[in-house]
Structure 1
């Protein structure tokens, strides 16, 4: 099968402006804003328009040639994702490594700029406040790894693939239905590439998801048949791929998967993977959520719980909540922190992932696991049977880790109504995070601490962790205690 090609469009030469959220930079041509991917601020580049309707507010484009390069530009590590090589073959690059043309330092610099810009423009934080909160900028999490990891490679423990019409493993071009065949996935950990999925005939399969825990406990391959195939044809396709994978020296588990409802049917092995942290073990079923960077579970739990512990918000007997709790990554260490006399409310919307949490935390009697919408469950929580009717449960601390779209106004309103002392907010999208920061600010809350981590090297994505507290309350519980003691001796 020949590689899909992009339509021939007029090429323009532009000077690239600042980075913007979403993996592109801003350029202008005859007064028109153009969002340019694969560029670096300050460069002069030739671009090919990919979206350019006459009545559109802005256009989109890919770089096809660099006229004046930035000092931060490097050779792209992945030919299939290299916009310049794709332009030379009159094709499009695959998505998923849109910052691969930048040095690692340059990537973190652009991500730092995006976090700051979003929090200033959408979150309402002043430049001086951001200077005080965000002096470290986006932090490297791979500095102590092997050379490949320091280069930003071999970190993904989960990868999703598409399949070309001819049955070849592939990935989509950005904002396109075109699927480009690939021969490697340099961002994936070795266990995923060792499957050599690009050598397998996936005819009859539409999507392939692979989960390979960094602990080496076993890989799971999920196969979604082409929509509309008969049960006989789709079953035959799944069995054919499963036989090919079973012939490997270290065969993975294989399951048939329905992306619409996350239902899985195990073909070989088991339908879940075992994830581990320093202190806990987690079962994650099928396509259930888990952080994809091999270091992310430790980095994020250390940061989020570190904020709460340092502030004195977590102690024996505390009442805390883990919202959008997944399989229990934060719930388990929260249960350790509050001890058997404390309590942890774990709320997760996905039924399958909530079932995983129940299995993972069945021995922790202080944990209550509820499945459903966060704002609805928060609205039904009362502190105890002795609490006056209608009085809401009050949390000492909360971990909030919403999906990419953010928590939203309704969740923020319901959470603030529970009057927590502090919230550790974990976010994978700076724009959604900034919008929520504004909602919290309108409710009388402020960002007290902020960190950000480069947990998605060579992409525009960045993870932030913030400590939010009521603006009228002392920054820490210990500070409040000290103030009270000082007052009593006056």
Structure 2
């Protein structure tokens, strides 16, 4: 181990892998190759060879290029920069935009087949849909939030790809114009290690050095509804993502199974975006509780849902909240939960075994799963399937152009 580290090798790239890299083999060993494309022959520098089952490498030259390769949209992340200095956060920026979506589709379908054991299922025909306006903009100018880092000498920039090294850049092409303009890329900041630049799309952008003052709000708008949140609180990064997800949930939820008087839930509910989607889709009288572990987000959710008399917000970890329901729910409450529609929008690690097991036990009429990681989603889906649920519909969205990330929404019902 270690004898190949830093050496340059020729690799035949065969297929895409989850995480924004492609796959090659060297002496029978899997090599995950950054900045490459399936079908290419590349020279790549081995950056990690200490893992028993795989190595990692960074492309330094393309010998035979894919027809889907394009000039990188971000000069700071392009091949002519040394791999150690390439900016992270645009790992698909060298790929034609429609082909990025095809690669994301392949990763999603492969995950569903390998981890959820789906075969010959209609969901495998899923396509990754673009957000309105992204094709015309070549997938640029969508980030309304950027987190930058500050090194020990005060230089500001993103991390280099797959590292915690700060690299300096002179542009942020994935950011909105307001965010890019406000970002202190040419300044030196001492006494902090982080800078956030945040825009709600209407009033320019705010620069937040270090931690945000407690309780400082911004307002986001989705359709006719406004949402209050803390300026560093969670919100979808793409300027069109909140609207896209709202409309997708409203379209995919099965109306014949939706009961406004049931004990409906919005788990990992944040500031109430998807709870509001159901309220606006059906009736202001919908009974629904948003559950979120962050107390500030919960307070904002309660404020944002104040026009719905039967909506509430609870501050709790989702696994503990569901565990308490399992222990304490009366017969009537369990019946209300069995009629319920449940939205889950977990973090990248997925809902996990405890949460899925609790939902299976509580047996809601439908689960609308909003997933930001295809592997975690597929693993949770396998557990749902073993517990008697089936995937009724699936859509996928390209909410993060020029990155490997893909968002999926699946609806599950009892068999």
What TM-score, normalized to structure 2?
0.93
Q: CA deviation at 1:200?
A: 2.6
Cα 1:317–1:336 change in 2 (3 A) is farther
Check conservation: 2:365, 2:413, Cα contact below 8 A: yes
Cα 1:382–1:64 change in 2 (3 A) is closer
2:64 to 64, 68, 72: 68
- Unaligned stretches of 5+ residues in structure 2: none
Cα 1:394–1:380 change in 2 (3 A) is farther
- Partners of 1:454 and 1:61 in 2: CA distance: 26
1:14 to 11, 16, 28: 11
The C-alpha deviation readout for 1:358-407, integer Å capped at 9, x for no partner, is 22223322112111111221233389998469878334211111111100
Check conservation: 1:321, 1:395, Cα contact below 8 A: no
**2:45 equivalent in structure 1:** 48
**1:108 equivalent in structure 2:** 101
1:86 to 58, 72, 81: 81
- Partners of 2:238 and 2:258 in 1: CA distance: 27
Check conservation: 1:318, 1:338, Cα contact below 8 A: no
Q: Tell me whether 1:156 sits opposite 2:143 in the alignment.
A: yes
Give SS of 1:275's match: strand
Check conservation: 1:379, 1:392, Cα contact below 8 A: no
The C-alpha deviation readout for 1:100-135, integer Å capped at 9, x for no partner, is 110001101110100000010011101x21xx2243
Q: CA deviation at 1:350?
A: 1.2
Cα 1:383–1:58 change in 2 (3 A) is closer
Q: Tell me whether 1:441 sits opposite 2:385 in the alignment.
A: yes
How many residue pairs match? The answer is 412
Larger gyration radius, structure 1 or structure 2: 1
Give SS of 1:205's match: coil
Q: CA deviation at 1:315?
A: 5.2
- Partners of 1:437 and 1:354 in 2: CA distance: 27
Q: How does 1:321-340 map to 2 (within 5 A)?
A: 321-340=265-284
Q: How does 1:334-413 map to 2 (within 5 A)?
A: 334-381=278-325, 387=331, 393-413=337-357
Q: CA deviation at 1:136?
A: 4.4
- Partners of 1:288 and 1:66 in 2: CA distance: 41
Q: CA deviation at 1:336?
A: 3.3
Check conservation: 1:317, 1:340, Cα contact below 8 A: no
1:185 to 172, 186, 192: 172
- Partners of 1:71 and 1:308 in 2: CA distance: 39
Q: Tell me whether 1:97 sits opposite 2:90 in the alignment.
A: yes
Give SS of 1:440's match: helix
Q: Tell me whether 1:419 sits opposite 2:363 in the alignment.
A: yes
**1:254 equivalent in structure 2:** none
2:192 to 201, 205, 212: 205
- Partners of 1:79 and 1:221 in 2: CA distance: 24
Q: CA deviation at 1:293?
A: 0.8
Q: CA deviation at 1:265?
A: 2.3
Give SS of 2:253's match: helix
Check conservation: 1:381, 1:393, Cα contact below 8 A: no
